């Protein structure tokens, strides 16, 4: 059975990834201490651990806050992500261990179940875990911390992808899940070039959907208001 400290750590990670906690939200030590039956010290230890992993920002006189997202964050994310994922993919093929491949398949099974049941929060978590395992397969101590930070914002930006609003988005979600299956097959046969090709195909699909989230289609200025129209004679009366 998990203790309160472990539950707090796992819950905060999930809530940040799934946007249940918004970027730059304040984390209240007192409320969390009471909710999880902890003293302030272990709560602060969890905050420090999450800060080290890139989920939380701890500033003097401001306390702990969810790591923010801003223009600079988004710009750097879109610049670096495809290069990072390609490097991770190559190294994953070269260095993966059989146990990691089993974990990847298990995670994909859970992701598939989540897509079938339309459990958006589970999809976010399992998709994040899928790509984190590929990072573990790569086994590179220089890339690993950067990937972990990248995946936090990938999950946050891409949340709407797992809540499809129309048939086109449904098809994109199914295509994304299929990419995961192809990743597993290519890694298993140690086909490095196939994995890299998949990285860019998968990234392009993700990028298009994340752009929809960042810049949704506008609405008409009067769409939310239905005011009665008055004739010119009514206006002058």
In this predicted structure, what is the pLDDT of residue 53? 94
User: What is the count of structural domains for the chain?
Assistant: 2
**Residues 31, 46: one domain?**
yes
Quick one: which H or E segment has residue 128?
helix 120-138
Q: Quick check: is 227 in a domain?
A: no
- Contact call for residues 123 and 17 (beta carbons, < 8 A): no
Q: Does a structural domain hold residue 234?
A: no
Largest CA distance in the chain: 83
Consecutive H or E run containing 154: helix 143-157
Predicted local distance difference test score (pLDDT) of residue 85: 96
> Block means of pLDDT (10 residues each) for the chain, length 237 residues?
90 94 93 94 95 92 88 87 96 98 98 92 94 97 93 86 73 91 98 96 84 62 54 50
Same structural domain for residues 60 and 102?
Answer: no
Q: Are residues 159 and 113 in the same domain?
A: yes
Sorted by sequence, the CB contacts under 8 Å of residue 174 that are 6+ apart come out as 115
Read off φ and ψ for residue 42, nearest 5 degrees. Answer: -65, -30
SS3 95: helix
Rounded Cα–Cα distance for residues 199 and 196 (Å): 5
* pLDDT given for residue 226 in this prediction: 55
Is residue 41, in this structure, part of any structural domain at all? yes
Q: Whole-angstrom distance between the N-terminal and C-terminal Cα of the chain?
A: 75
What is d(CA 12, CA 218) in angstroms, rounded to the nearest whole number?
32
Same domain, 110 and 203: yes
User: Exposed, middle or buried by CB within 10 Å (0-12, 13-18, 19+), for 135?
Assistant: buried
Q: Is residue 231 part of a domain?
A: no
Residue 210 maps to which CATH number? 1.20.120.530
Helix (H, G, I), strand (E, B) or coil at 3: coil
pLDDT of residue 110: 97
pLDDT of residue 215: 63
Residues 29, 130 share a domain = no
Residue 171: per-residue pLDDT: 86
Give yes or no for a contact between 134 and 88, defined as CB atoms under 8 angstroms apart: yes
Cβ-based neighbours of 4, under 8 Å, separated by 6 or more: 36, 37, 38, 42
Q: Give burial (CB, 10 Å; 0-12/13-18/19+) of 45.
A: middle
Residues 157, 51, single domain; the answer is no
Q: Could you tell me if 165 and 143 are in contact, meaning their C-beta atoms sit under 8 angstroms apart?
A: no
CB 128 within 8 A of CB 140: no
Does residue 115 lie in a domain region? yes
Closest CA to 142 of 84, 66, 59, 214: 84
Domain containing 116: what range?
Answer: 71-214
Q: What is the pLDDT of residue 209?
A: 73
């Amino acid at each position: 059975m998990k203790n309160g400290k472990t539950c707090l750590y796992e819950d905060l990670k999930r809530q940040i990834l799934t946007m249940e906690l918004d970027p730059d939200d304040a984390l209240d030590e007192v409320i969390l201490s009471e909710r999880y039956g902890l003293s302030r010290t272990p709560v602060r230890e969890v905050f420090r651990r999450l800060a080290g992993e890139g989920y939380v920002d701890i500033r003097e006189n401001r306390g702990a806050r969810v790591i923010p997202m801003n223009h600079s964050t988004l710009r750097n994310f879109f610049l670096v992500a495809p290069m990072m994922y390609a490097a991770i993919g190559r190294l994953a093929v070269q260095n993966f261990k059989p146990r990691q491949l089993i974990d990847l398949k298990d995670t994909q099974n859970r992701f598939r179940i989540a897509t079938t049941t339309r459990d958006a929060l589970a999809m976010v978590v399992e998709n994040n875990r899928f790509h984190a395992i590929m990072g573990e397969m790569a086994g590179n101590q220089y890339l690993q911390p950067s990937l972990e930070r990248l995946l936090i914002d990938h999950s946050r930006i891409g949340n709407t992808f797992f809540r499809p609003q129309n048939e086109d988005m449904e098809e994109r979600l199914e295509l994304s899940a299929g990419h995961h299956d192809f990743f597993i097959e290519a890694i298993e046969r140690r086909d490095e070039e196939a994995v890299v090709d998949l990285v860019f195909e998968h990234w392009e699909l993700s990028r298009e959907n994340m752009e929809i989230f960042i810049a949704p289609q506008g609405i008409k200025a009067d769409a939310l208001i239905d005011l009665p129209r008055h004739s010119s004679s009514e206006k002058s009366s």
